[in-house]
Structures are given as C-alpha cells and as structure tokens.
Structure 1
Amino acid sequence: MCLFLGLPCEIKDLGEHAFMWKFNTKFLYVGNLTVLQLNGVEKDMMSNGIIIKRLTNDLTGIYRCEISSNPPRMVQYNVSMHTAPVIIPNPANKDNKVVVSQDQPLVLQCNIATSSSLLPTTFQWKHNSKVIELNRTEFVVETIQLSDAGDVTCEARNEIGSRSHTFKVIVQAKPVITLSEQIVHGPVGTDVEVKCMAEAYPAAKIEWYYSSNNPIHVSTKHKIVNNMNEHSSTLTIFNVGTKDHQEYFCLSANSLGEAKAYFAVTGRPSKPKFTSPKVSNNGDTYQLEWVTFSQPPIKNTTLRVREIDHVNGQPGNWQIINVEPTVSDGTALKTKEPHRRQTYLLENLSQDKSYEVDVVVANEFGSTKSDVFVFSTSDFTSADATTLGMSFTMMIFVLLISVIA
C-alpha cells in the first residue's frame, strides 16, 4: 500500500534558533543537514517541510517540526494508515522462545501497535494449531504443565487483513517417560523392541537397565538407537531366551531430576484381541472369536461373560466358562509368533441385549487377560417380521406385473 504525503512546516523569524525534524524519538534533519535517512522520506528543498514519497507501515508514527526555542515550539503530525494489525508481542524474544518452569504461570500478550489500532480488531489463540481462546489480547495459564509446551499462536484480524505471531513455549521440567509397551511379548528365539520417550527440558539423556540396576550396553545381544529429534531411545533384544524373560527399566535424567519406567519381557501370550462382529444376527446365540500370539501352545482359556443393564440398570452376574484351547497345526508351531485363533459359541442369550466379555489365555510362561469386549444380540423376531413384510410386498408387486401382462 503506497501513499504520497507532504508535511509542511512554516517558519518565520527563526533568528539564532535551529529547527529540526524528528520521527518519534529519532532526529531526521537539523536545518538542511540529514541526520537519519529513512527510505521513502526526503526533505522538501523548496520549504522547511518533508515529503513522504511512499508511506508504508514502517513510516507511520509521530513527526515533529521543532524549533530550539525555550520553551520549544513545534508542529506535530500523527501519521497513520489503515493496515492489517501490527502485533507487538510480549514477551518479545529474538527467537520467539518463552521458557517457563513447570507449575508456574504463563502470560502471553499480543498488543496492537497504535498505527494499526484504528479499526476494530478480533483475536484468536491457538496451541499447536488447535483453537484455545477467542477475542483476547492476553493468554494465561495459571500453572503450566509439559502438555502446554509447543507453539502458541495469536492471530489479530481487522477488515484490512490479519497477522499472527507464534510463541515457542518451552516448559522446564524433570523427565516424563512414556514406554511403547509395558508388557513385551517375547517368545524364545525372537527379537523384541521397546521405545522409551522422555519429555523434558533441559533435554534428558536415556539409559537402559536390568531391574537389578545393571546397565545395558550395546553388544551382539542388545542394540540401542537414540533419536535426539524425537527425544527417544529404542532398545532391541536379539534372539530372546528364557533368561531374557525378566523386568527392565529405562532411566531418563536432566538437571531438574530423573524418572524411571519399568517393563517386562515375557513368553506369556500376547493380549487377546476380539475379532468377531459387535452385533450378532443369530438372535439368542453369538459366535465369539479372538486371536493371540503364543509360541508355546495355549494350555488354559477362561472366558467371562455377563449381560449389561440386566435389572434396573445393573449388570448381571459373570458367567465363567473354561474353553478347550484349539490345537495349533504344524505350520503354526514352526513360526516364531504363532497366530492362535479361538472361537466359542455363546448360547441361550437374551435377544436385543448387550453383553460384555473378556478372556484369559495361559501358556507355560503365564497368563494374559484381554480388554473387555462389548457385543449385542439382535431382535430375531423383529428381523423375521421385517423380512416377511418385504417378501409380502414383493409378492404383491409380482402379482401386479402378472395382471398387467
């Protein structure tokens, strides 16, 4: 946006006094001497005025033509232009980083420069691209946590356009550890992998240990890969044996403290996952199906099932069922992670009801329990009635066609 602007300054009887032009607090000219050259601003050689040949947002502000009398006399011009909001962030750091300690307050401000505050302005705040606050120049977190770290952006908008500023919020805290798994299914002869992620500032190093506090080092048995960008470390255990079925932990520490996270490598079956549909179409029966990984054969399987909202909104009693494990074929026994599938037919269920079920599977190393799975039975009578109604309508339609023919 460009605009030509002349700022006159008529002077009579200057005498021994000097005259000068100032822009905000900076001297531009003293008499005909140029002190500071602004791109787009020049002295009018035919008068004592100045000319703004190309008005931009950087040239908006207060211009003064001033005489060094006592008291000084001046002519003042407040030059502004309608632009998209100019944001003055607080705090204002060169790299936009704002470092705050955990549990301390965070205050961020997006003030608007006077030169662009003439038009009504609306505000929007985002945290990592998610909108969190509307129409406020200030964003406050009373006690900041690690989850509050990241990019906090304020956007100011008026009828001309919008501008934004992003604060990079860094929370100082001791490490918080997240493990990819806490129970690692590791059959004998397989390789297993665990990732340890440590969220902390200052950055924290990660080390691996057996539960006996013996450190784990890189060897033909163990591989450790550190990812500084992801703040993570990945441990691989090769060719798992029965002695590797034990507890481990990763340790992360920085100048503010340390944290540990424990996990176990086990030959127990993996957590069973239900693969059957959530709705039965067989009225009072339901074919339940689940799958687990286990190198040794499954020895025992225990199923629990109960009706939800049985009486007055209360669930029914658990029914305990011992299921005979399916015998794996020869192919499954030769694989490193046999895929063991099991089905069981539940009978005498109430129609149009919901049930919850879980299962515990066990091999020679121990047992593993599934999450709770919910399924529903259909109203078999209503389904028959609907089908019958459709058949009846089709029969009438066919009869009409026959009559017309």
Structure 2
Amino acid sequence: MVVFVRLRKNIIDKHMLSPSTKAACWLTTFLSVFVTGEMPIQAEVEPEFLQALENHTVTQGRDVHFTCVVNHLSNYRVAWIKSDSKAILAIHTNMVALNPRLSVTYNNHNTWKLHVSNVQANDSGTYMCQVNTDPMKSQMGHLSVVIPPDIVDSITEGSSAREGGSVRLTCSATGVPAPTVMWRREHNRPIVFRHDGGRERKVVETHKGEVLELSHVQRNDMGAYYCIASNGVPPTVSRRYHVQVHFIPQVKVTNQLVGAPLGSDVELQCYIEASPKAMNSWSREDLSNFAALVSDKLLENPKFRITETSVNEYSLWMNLTIKSLAPSDYGTYVCASVNALGKMESQVSLHRLELSMNGYADEPMVSGAAWQRARNLPARARPAASHAHQYLTQHLPPQLYALLLTTLQYVHTF
C-alpha cells in the first residue's frame, strides 16, 4: 500500500495555485482517500500580513486610521499596541485603552482598522498591529502629528519712544515643527536699522527672528509692523504691532506773505507734523490787545472754513479759507499745534492788494514783520506800465494777477 506523506505545515494556500497545480493536488487527495480510506491531514496555515502598516502625518484635530490586513487568522487574535508606551489599545474589536477617541473596526474577513479621531500631539508615536502566534507576528506604522503655528500672547502689542530713542518688539511662536518668525512692515515699507549716530546701517524688507530692535528711531519709522510665523502647516499666522515715535510739533506755512483783493476768497495753508496727536488751531493776531497778542482760535462760521487733510499718521495739512475779504480781515494769522511734548506756531501775513488802471499796485495794508519788510520794497520792484503789463491785465484773472504781484514783492523783500 502506498503511503502518502502528509503535507508540510506551511502548505501554500490553494487559492493562490495555478490551475495545473490545483488539479495535481485534487488528484493526490483522491488517490489518498481511495488507497487509505482517510482524508490526508493538512497542517494549519500560519497567519500572514498582506500589506505593510502605513505611516501618517496628520494635522492636529484631524482624524486618521491604520489598516491591518491579515490572512489565515484562524483562532488567533489581532491586537493593537502603542509601541513607545507598550500600552495595549485593543484586542480584536474590544477596546482596552480608556480613550474615547480610539476605536477599532473589523470587516468580518481579514481587515482591522484602528481609528484615532481629533488627533492630539500626544498621539504621535509608533503603532503596532500584532498577531498572538508563537513567536508573535507584528508590523508597525508611525503617526506624526503636526501643529499649525500660534503666536504666544505678549504683555504689549506695541511700543513707543521719543525720536532718537529705541524700540524693541518681541514675538514668540509655538507649533510642530518649530515655526520660523519674521517681521514685515505694513504696505511693504522698508525696515531701517541705524548706527549710533542715526545714520542708516541697513535697510531691509523683512527681518528674521523673534526680536526686532530699532535704535535711533525717526518719525518715518512710525507705523505697523507684522510678526509672521510659519512652519509649513497651514495656516500661517501674524500679529500686528504698532510703533509710536513721539516728538514736539513742527509747523510750516507755505507762504508767510499772502496778498488778495477785497471781496475775494483766500486760502492760507499750514503743514503740521506731531506725535502724539496734537491740538491744532488757527487764530488771529490782535494788536489792540496788548495783554494777549493772539486772540482765541478761529471757529467754523460763514466767514471762516477750516479743513484738515491727513498725509500720514503724524502729519497733515490744515488750511484756513477766508471768504469775501473785508478790510477788517487783513492782518496776521497764526497756525499753532500743541501736544504733550510742546507747542509750535507759524504766522501768515494777509495784506490787501489793489490793482490800479496804470498797472501799479497800491501799498498793501498788513501787520507784522512781513509788512515791515514789504514797506521797504525798492522802486524797482514795482512793475512799470508796459506792453507786458497791459497784456497780463487783459489776459489774467484779477486774483491770479494779484498773486503774481505778491510773489514779486515777496522775492524782493529778501
């Protein structure tokens, strides 16, 4: 009698054999049953993993899962273990870890999944899918949790200094991986670093590092600076810091001597720079009041209109429009600005300008130092009656011609 040798313990799965090999197996089995009257005994097939356990990189707060596929599990069990802590998380579909964010699903065939919801930083590490064979079989996958950058709250979100002083801004950021911090000015204005004497040392568009230190600051350093933190994990975050540079007001009038005829409207212009914010005003010099040479500030009324036009956060134009000039409107007007650091003012002398038929301008009526200079105007400064003068008086509006004469007088005053 022919004795058939039992199949090896690790026999190949018949489902994976070729058709000819399958036919040979069936023939061998049939002959064994016919000769011995017994079915051949096959050894139990060992469990095997069909695919590697994957690695994951996940943003904090998202969900993730590991997939473990095992064939020929038979009576063995699949367990999930956190390798770095040696903690058993689950056996088959029964949870061991008391973590509500962990769960296991099974498709009743060969696939187990370990789910981690709302991933947190402490979920990072190596996870193991293990089968309790002897020796045990396992495979591992790694979970990396990345965290978007966040700027740590600071005590102050701005800084101020007197002009010529120093400003130091600090911005700390957290995240995984560690964020990179850089500084940028609003509207891409340049960041200026200066030597001790105030001379420019370096001008850049961006500055890298958690600390931005500006020395010998000037008023044009004033404005918004942004701290920007990024680590490749969206979103990039930023925080706005405001720098204030304080100085005594500076006041300039565009013309110290202005002439205009009766009945016309005239505008007096004044440019002001000040920080911190200043109180600005127009007033009229009152020569009749010797106790106080300057009267109260002028207010908006049908006669006077005051407008302010901002240039930037520390400078503006403040213009005074006087309507329908009367003889009493001529005199000296004062543009003043005052803040916590001091006060400054500048004057404009408004005089009367009349045009005569022969081309001479009558003596203006003014007060103040500007008129004292104008009284000594040499005769050569007066425009002589000429063809050019006649042409100008015929082709220029009276106000424009008056302005031309005023300019000539002012030039010869000096």
TM-score scaled by structure 2?
0.46
- Structure with the higher fraction of residues in helix conformation: 2
Computing the radius of gyration from Cα coordinates, the structure with the larger value is 2
TM-score scaled by structure 1?
0.47
